[in-house]
Homo-oligomer: A and B are copies of this chain.
Amino acid sequence: MGEAFEGTIAFRVVVALRDDIVTMALKPGDVISESDIAGRYGVSRQPVREAFIRLAQQGLLLIRPKRATVVKKISPDGVRQSRFIRESIEVEIIRRVATAPAAETAAVLAELIADQEAASAANDSRRFHKLDELFHRTLARLAGVEYAWQLIDDHKMQLDRVRYLTLGVSSSQRAIAEHKIIAEAVSKGDVASAEAAMRAHLGRAELLLNQTIEDFPDYFE
Look across to chain B and name the residue whose beta carbon is closest to the beta carbon of A10: B53
**A171 interface hit (Cβ, 8 Å):** no
**A84 interface hit (Cβ, 8 Å):** yes
Contact of A4 among B64, B78, B148 (CB under 8 A): B64
Contact of A5 among B50, B65, B78, B145 (CB under 8 A): B65
**Inside 8 A of A1's CB, which chain B residues have their CB?**
57
Chain multiplicity (copies): 2
**A210 interface hit (Cβ, 8 Å):** no
Stretch at the interface among A31-39, A87-95, A100-108, A115-123: A87-95
Binary per-residue interface labels of chain A (15-50) against chain B in the complex, 1 for a CB within 8 Å, 0 otherwise: 000000000000000000000000000000000011
Minimum C-beta distance from A114 to chain B (A): 29
Question: A4 contacts B57, CB within 8 Å?
Answer: no
**A164 interface hit (Cβ, 8 Å):** no
Question: B84 contacts A145, CB within 8 Å?
Answer: yes
Look across to chain B and name the residue whose beta carbon is closest to the beta carbon of A89: B88
Chain A interface SS verdict (over half): helix
Binary per-residue interface labels of chain A (58-101) against chain B in the complex, 1 for a CB within 8 Å, 0 otherwise: 00001111000000000001100100110111011100000000
A20–B135 CA distance with the chains assembled, in angstroms: 40
Question: A8 contacts B65, CB within 8 Å?
Answer: yes
**A201 interface hit (Cβ, 8 Å):** no
Question: A92 contacts B81, CB within 8 Å?
Answer: no
Look across to chain B and name the residue whose beta carbon is closest to the beta carbon of A92: B88
A137–B77 CA distance with the chains assembled, in angstroms: 17
Look across to chain B and name the residue whose beta carbon is closest to the beta carbon of A46: B46
A145–B84 CA distance with the chains assembled, in angstroms: 8
**A7 interface hit (Cβ, 8 Å):** yes
A50–B47 CA distance with the chains assembled, in angstroms: 11
Given contacts A53-B53, A53-B54, A88-B92, contact A81 B7 (CB under 8 A): no
5 pairs of A and B residues whose beta carbons are closest in the complex: A88-B92, A81-B147, A88-B88, A88-B89, A81-B145
